[in-house]
Structure 1
Amino acid sequence: MLNQPLKPMLLQPSQTIKPDWLASLKWDGFRAIIHYQDGKTRAFTREGNEITASFFPELSQLKLNCRSAILDGECICFDLLNQAPGQPPKAWWDDAMARFHTKKEAAVKKAAQTMRAHFPVWDILFLDGKPLLNKTFLERREHLKAVAGPADIVSVTPLYDDGEQLFARAKELGLEGVVQYRPDSFYSLDARPRNVWEKVKAYQYATVQVSSMKRNEFGWGLSMGGKYVGVLEFPPPAAERKAFFKIAKQITRGENKDWIFVDPVISCTVKFQCFTKDGKLRSPKFEAFCT
């Protein structure tokens, strides 16, 4: 198990907060499984891709209070370049993706100066030669807190009893949402079991205009106040698509080999996860046309 890619337990999506479960903030990065052995660290994505080289400046500094361990958590990246005076740096999904795709050693060292990686962890699967999968979540958390104290590289994700209050705070701050954990649950590798872990996303909503459409596959270019804010890649229901294309023929104003451009007079409501660093909508999904 140690130093071998493994597929972690996945979360079930939910729209409700369970009052008797524990909750934590949902981090805006990507899943990272950390393998630690005798002072050396390797990291893998949930698909089993090794990312150690992309984050070696941070991972090489990690020291845990054990001989070996496998930790389950997230990789996030803080923007140090645009940090406001007197304020903590902000974590951006864009920066986590930029670090993920940076491979060359010199480029990684340079990126780490302005996009510092951090690994908030919430579970431990393996400790000093012994698997912990059949211990309860609360038992595993006790082991995790003993192994991973507060540090610049790894931190233990705080848990809260009041999931509703935490979710409301996440929405207020424009964060991604919350994760909930059943306290007595066990850990199942490469599975998405029900009634174990759940994620509740705090979607944001916006009214946008459709300003273009892809020629050879579905995709609507979106704008807000005349500014391009991304592409709707998830198709609306067939009836809505048919109604749009019927009107689009009358408002087409140009095209190239990839796009057909239309007057931005058709508005719709979309839900999305957050704004990206450059002001675009992350993963927008169609809700309804505006009357």
Structure 2
Amino acid sequence: MLATPGPLPTGGDWAYEVKWDGARALVHLPGDGGVLLTSRTGRLVTDSYPELGALAVPGLAAVLDGEIVALDETGRPDFGRMQQRMGLTRPAAVRAAARAYPVTLMLFDVLRLGGRDTTGLPYTERRELLERLPVDVPQAAVPPYWPPGLGRVAMDWTLDRGLEGVVAKRVGSRYEPGRRSREWIKTKHVRTVEVRIGGWVPRDEGERALRSLLVGVAGAVGLRYAGSVGTGFSERESALLAELLRPLDTPAPPFEDSGGIEVEQPVRWVRPVLVGEVEFLEWTRGGRLRAPVWRGLRGPPEVVPY
């Protein structure tokens, strides 16, 4: 069951959970001491996460839903770390990655228990069953949820801790396998930052529109490269930006750390005089914008340091 993106619902029939930033997984516990993990698409991923074998509890037959996350030193999910674990199959590579980037499974639902299909039960009853399960290992957790009326508390709490957002679930909702439902609503925290445009990639040889922008923020001694922005432009704005940027050509990158820039297409470097706003999820460990979306040009104020 998948959540639908949307604004945070309020009212007396919504409960709230943390939206974890990782990889969705179903945990199949046959009850014989084994464990199987499948991805959101149904692919078997057990061998990629050997430490989650600790979830196998003899005698416990269940199918559980959760999110695999890789936590950083502060206990916050780090998707960059998680990417180091995803898709690995060679045993040596898996073992090395598991030592460097251990994962934790955040459990939030139960689909079967003891041979019984629990998907038809309301959310609150499934949560009660989940919280009573004898799964007590450091590699897994059943995070608490916020009851109705505390949606804003959940949003503030997750924002303060740098988490991705909140999933609101109707307290009476059934579990609908494979369906994106409005009974679950996911609301992400949105961050914005002002950036200066230091380069652009034309969409075509005529340079009448752009494919992406290379942007920066204030660094220690100059403009620090923050990433490439390739979404959020309307056709009209793409053409306008190309028109504004063409006269600003400069022969070299204006970024203090231009050696770390990786762009496949030819770049037109420009004097960084145009200021814009970008919406993004978070800063990566390498100081880049994650999932940036262009929001428009701004005036000439100083670029906000990150």
- State the TM-score, normalized to the length of structure 1: 0.87
Counterpart residue type for residue 227 of structure 2: G
The match for 1:287 among 288, 295, 299 is 295
1:225-280, Cα deviation, whole Å (9 max, x unpaired): 21111221214122221211001111122489532222222211111111112121
The match for 1:75 among 68, 74, 82 is 68
The secondary structure found in structure 2 opposite 1:11 is strand
Partner of 1:23: 16
The match for 1:166 among 146, 154, 157 is 154
The secondary structure found in structure 2 opposite 1:265 is coil
Alignment identity in percent?
A: 26
Q: 1:148, 1:155 within 8 Å by CA — same for their partners in 2?
A: no
Q: 1:219, 1:235 within 8 Å by CA — same for their partners in 2?
A: no
Q: Taking structure 1 as reference, are residues 264 and 247 closer, same or farther at Cα in structure 2, changes over 3 Å only?
A: same
Q: Structure 2 matches for 1:110-189, cutoff 5 A?
A: 110-161=96-147, 162-189=150-177
Q: 2:76, 2:162 within 8 Å by CA — same for their partners in 1?
A: no
Q: 1:148, 1:156 within 8 Å by CA — same for their partners in 2?
A: no
The secondary structure found in structure 1 opposite 2:274 is strand
The match for 1:244 among 234, 241, 245 is 241
Partner of 1:42: 36
Find out whether 1:205 has 2:199 as its counterpart: no
1:135-183, Cα deviation, whole Å (9 max, x unpaired): 1111111221222534211211211121111101222233211111111
Q: Taking structure 1 as reference, are residues 66 and 205 closer, same or farther at Cα in structure 2, changes over 3 Å only?
A: farther
Unaligned 5+ runs, structure 2: 204-209, 253-263, 300-306
Counterpart residue type for residue 117 of structure 1: V
Partner of 1:192: 180
Partners of 1:157 and 1:231 lie apart in 2 by 35
Counterpart residue type for residue 181 of structure 2: P
Partners of 2:84 and 2:134 lie apart in 1 by 26
Q: Structure 2 matches for 1:94-105, cutoff 5 A?
A: 94-105=80-91
Counterpart residue type for residue 267 of structure 2: W
Once the two structures are TM-superposed, the CA of residue 26 in structure 1 deviates from its matched residue by 1.1
Partner of 1:262: 270
Q: Structure 2 matches for 1:207-246, cutoff 5 A?
A: 207-216=194-203, 218-225=211-218, 226-246=223-243
The secondary structure found in structure 1 opposite 2:132 is helix
Return 63-72 or 122-131, whichever deviates more. 63-72
Partners of 1:288 and 1:32 lie apart in 2 by 37
Paired positions, count: 274
1:203-238, Cα deviation, whole Å (9 max, x unpaired): 111111222223458222221121111221214122
Partners of 1:212 and 1:126 lie apart in 2 by 53
Q: 1:54, 1:99 within 8 Å by CA — same for their partners in 2?
A: yes
Q: Taking structure 1 as reference, are residues 64 and 17 closer, same or farther at Cα in structure 2, changes over 3 Å only?
A: farther
1:3-58, Cα deviation, whole Å (9 max, x unpaired): xxxxxx110111133132111111121211111222211212212222222111x1
Partner of 1:3: none
Partners of 2:159 and 2:54 lie apart in 1 by 34
Partners of 1:235 and 1:277 lie apart in 2 by 24
Once the two structures are TM-superposed, the CA of residue 188 in structure 1 deviates from its matched residue by 1.0
Once the two structures are TM-superposed, the CA of residue 75 in structure 1 deviates from its matched residue by 0.8
Larger Rg: 2
Partner of 1:6: none
Q: Taking structure 1 as reference, are residues 148 and 266 closer, same or farther at Cα in structure 2, changes over 3 Å only?
A: farther
What's the RMSD between the two structures over aligned residues? 2.0
Find out whether 1:92 has 2:78 as its counterpart: yes
Q: 1:274, 1:281 within 8 Å by CA — same for their partners in 2?
A: yes
Q: 2:68, 2:106 within 8 Å by CA — same for their partners in 1?
A: yes
Partners of 1:212 and 1:235 lie apart in 2 by 17
